[in-house]
Structure 1
Amino acid sequence: MPVLSTAEAAATPAKSVKSAKASKAKAAAVQTRKVKSVVLRKQAPVVRAVPTFGQVAGLHDVDDPLALRSSVAYVLDQDTNEVLFSKNPQAVLPIASITKLMTALVVVESGLSMDEKLTVTDEDKDTEKNTGSRLAFGTSLTRGEMLHLALMASENRAAHALGRHYPGGMNAFVAAMNAKAQSLGMADTHYVEPTGLSSRNQSSAKDLALLVNASSQVPLLRDLSTSRETRVALGKRQVQFRSTNGLLSNPMWDIGLQKTGFINEAGKCLVMQASMAGRKLIMVFLDSSGKASRIADAERMRKWLASLPGGGEAAVAAKL
């Protein structure tokens, strides 16, 4: 066993103390690093989904043979008026941007020039839902371009500008919308503005079938509503707008006229005129829950109709 000298023996305790202090310092540094590496994240607040009018009314509790996510569904043979599918057809609900079909119909029937330049102003700002728009204040487009963007891309400022530039202004335009609804026999329908952002724009599936039927008789509305995309000059830029309805690019569908819609109170909405199995059909889906649910419901309906004898001669009714 080695023998330590007096000097070495004296130095050993000092070294031990230094070593102990170093170890403690190192441990403290490691602990400090560990503490610093912990990130405390503030938990995001839970935002409760706003129920639709249909959910509040219990319309989703009604069962149907296709298990649709839409609380309202209606399919009508356009030529014979035969009802092929019916679920809560008389329920009166907010219709969101389906409103723009009536906006477009009133504009076209007014006979106003489609080449006249209309300018978007701060009067066209969304004060209902505070949504934005790609049409900046000061943007000038022809009435025809505004109509195209309103129908195809559901541009709210375009629809509002169309109403504001109507002879007599917005009040006269809304009055014309309601007058047209009455003339078509749409007894359950009422409009307060031309975009659909207000939940006070309301209708029923049976009424909307009348609107789709009337709108589909207008070639311009058929063309613009089924357009997949367009480019518009916004200042020095060419900006591309696309349709809100993905079914237009689906080869399984032959769609003659369409319009989508959504606000929280209305859920996802879709109306169409489509040819299927040799028949012209009008389809209405309202208050659908889920991101792609209205499209999925339309697909379920298409497959079901194709499976029927004669391509869709049976009728199914599900009533509230």
Structure 2
Amino acid sequence: MKPTRILVGLATLVGLVLATSHVTSDANVTPPVENKPAASYTSAAEIIEYGQPNRLTLQSGVAMIVDDREGVMLYGRNIERQRPIASLTKLMTALVILESGVPLDEPIKITRDDRDRLRGTKSRLGFNGVFTRHDLLYAALGASDNRAAAALARTYPGGEEAMFQAMNAKAQQLGMTQTRYVDSSGLHNGNVSTANDLVRLVNETHKHALIHAMTTTPTFRVTDQASGRQIAFRNTNRLVHRQSWDIALSKTGYTSAAGNCLIMQTTIAERPLTIVLLNSWGKLSRYGDARRIQQWLEKAERRVPPTITASASHI
């Protein structure tokens, strides 16, 4: 096409735009709303209809998948069944600590009162070591360290009992009516909840950027203020170490009574989700379930037929 024709065409187009703008302004008429295509994402209802979640086979005794964008449950199994939750407890521990306003840079000495006298679990935090409250939160959330959780409760204003009361009060405030806490680590089987309640907890803890960072960092170090020694930790959720997963919040848990547990806020196929998996008895089955959920959603997206909303809007 010759340059002169291009210029003429452009001039004509500009003239039409200016003329339309002038008429609309003089007549004081609201311009018509453009007929835009519908949102490009697949709705939760379409995923449920075409994804056939009843065919999703998981190894966890309790499972819940929630579309966070719409607040719709995509899949649920035994979501109101009350069960021990092991170290998933530590999410509430961190939430209460952060909302209490206690200084995170305050040094806390690890004592023998912080040892696990119930199950005898070990810790990399030595007795007489001194760590900031920030670093203890990191160890409790990222590495699921029980001694760190105990020290956080011991040094809470008013002590352990005040801490447990605050945890239960926060649960009630969030509408977690089937949840009870009796310690800060989750070692006690009296710490119980349901998948439905835990989704509420995840939604609340996700508001804190610090919890996001502490639960999704693959590896980190804390510093013993007494000796200057750095102690390396590794996140207990193996999925945060994989680039194929986009995880915004994470927590694992295990006791013989609770089984293997996993909570995540993640994005799969551009869909933000909350996933709760409880009572998974195989050591790796919770991760296998997460992978099965990932594959199911990706396939469900492909099964949904092209929407006719966009073309219908022009009729």
TM class by shorter chain equals 0.7 to 0.9
> Post-superposition shift, 1:64?
6.0
| 1:91 aligned residue | 81
| 1:209 aligned residue | 199
| 1:105 aligned residue | 95
Match of 2:134 among 138, 144, 148: 144
Post-superposition Cα deviations, 1:231-281, rounded to whole Å, max 9, x if no partner, equal: 223435322110001101212211000000001100000000112222211
Q: 1:83 to 1:109 in 2, by over 3 A?
A: same
Match of 1:224 among 214, 221, 232: 214
| 1:318 aligned residue | none
For 1:124 and 1:229, the matched residues in 2 are separated by 24
| 2:238 aligned residue | 246
For 1:267, give the aligned amino acid.
G
Question: What is the CA RMSD across the aligned residues, in angstroms?
Answer: 1.7
For 2:95, give the aligned amino acid.
L
Greater CA radius of gyration, 1 or 2? 1
For 2:294, give the aligned amino acid.
R
Post-superposition Cα deviations, 1:204-247, rounded to whole Å, max 9, x if no partner, equal: 00000100111111111101111111122343532211000110
| 2:281 aligned residue | 289
* Secondary structure in 1 matching 2:261: strand
- Contact in 2 for aligned 1:64/1:87 (Cα 8 Å): no
Answering whether residue 118 of structure 2 is matched by residue 128 of structure 1, we say: yes
| 1:309 aligned residue | 301
Question: Structure 1 stretches of 5 or more lacking a match?
Answer: 1-62, 314-320
Question: Structure 2 stretches of 5 or more lacking a match?
Answer: 1-52, 306-315
* Secondary structure in 2 matching 1:85: strand
Stretches (4+) displaced over 6 A: 310-313
For 2:198 and 2:223, the matched residues in 1 are separated by 33
Q: 1:258 to 1:217 in 2, by over 3 A?
A: same
- Contact in 1 for aligned 2:109/2:130 (Cα 8 Å): yes
* Secondary structure in 1 matching 2:165: helix
Match of 1:298 among 277, 290, 308: 290
TM-score of the aligned structures, taking structure 2 as reference length:
0.77
For 2:87 and 2:146, the matched residues in 1 are separated by 8
Answering whether residue 303 of structure 2 is matched by residue 275 of structure 1, we say: no
For 2:219, give the aligned amino acid.
E
- Contact in 2 for aligned 1:277/1:311 (Cα 8 Å): no
- Contact in 2 for aligned 1:96/1:262 (Cα 8 Å): yes
